A = this chain, B = another copy of it.
Amino acid sequence: MKATAIGHIIKPEDGGIHIQMNPTYWPGTLELDKFSHIIVLWWITGMDNDEARMHLQNYPPIEGAPLSGVFASRSPGRPTPIGMTTVKIVSIDSELHRIFIDQIDAIDGTPVVDIKPYIPFSDKVDRAKVPDWLKNNVPRYTDHPLD
């Protein structure tokens, strides 16, 4: 079960965060411009070692968070060191094979292993239950922060 790098996260000092796609895989972005958001799957290379991959519990860095299993947190140290971030597409440069995005919690140079379009049918949960320590955590992509 080997992941393939289809591109890399680039974070220039002057902004303009983007995914620099490997040109081989560029045909896979056809019609991507019809979506506003994508889910980026990336490899947490800094945590790809035996010790971090067997680190199964931790304290999420939020006040009041209890000791939690990695599958109940977004901790980067996990058995399969894969990161997942929903981001907004800012623009697409077909000539340079770049997908500009608004933000991502991955460092410069991180391999991207997959991109999926954000589809409300399967990806949007309106009334997800979360633990109390996450209750004041307002969705990033909402027009109704006080709902």
A63 vs chain B, min Cβ distance (A)? 15
A9 vs chain B, min Cβ distance (A)? 14
Q: Is the CB of A69 within 8 A of B6?
A: no
A109 at the interface (CB under 8 A from B): no
Q: Is the CB of B35 within 8 A of A72?
A: yes
Smallest CB-CB separation from A55: which chain B residue?
A: B28
Expressed in whole angstroms, the Cα–Cα distance for A67 and B34 within the complex equals 12
Q: Is the CB of B57 within 8 A of A27?
A: yes
Q: Is the CB of B82 within 8 A of A115?
A: no
Q: Is the CB of B29 within 8 A of A69?
A: yes
Which chain B positions have C-beta within 8 A of A129?
Answer: 34-37
Residue in B39, B78, B122, B143 whose CB lies within 8 Å of A126? B143
Residue in B31, B68, B134 whose CB lies within 8 Å of A69? B31
**A residues 34-79 touching B (CB-CB < 8 Å):** 34-39, 41, 43, 45, 48, 53, 56-57, 66-74, 78-79
Q: Is the CB of A114 within 8 A of B80?
A: yes
Q: Is the CB of A128 within 8 A of B37?
A: yes
A103-142 CB mask vs B (1 if < 8 Å, else 0) is: 0000000010111111111111111111100100111111
Q: Is the CB of A126 within 8 A of B114?
A: no
Q: Is the CB of B142 within 8 A of A28?
A: no
Q: Is the CB of A122 within 8 A of B86?
A: yes
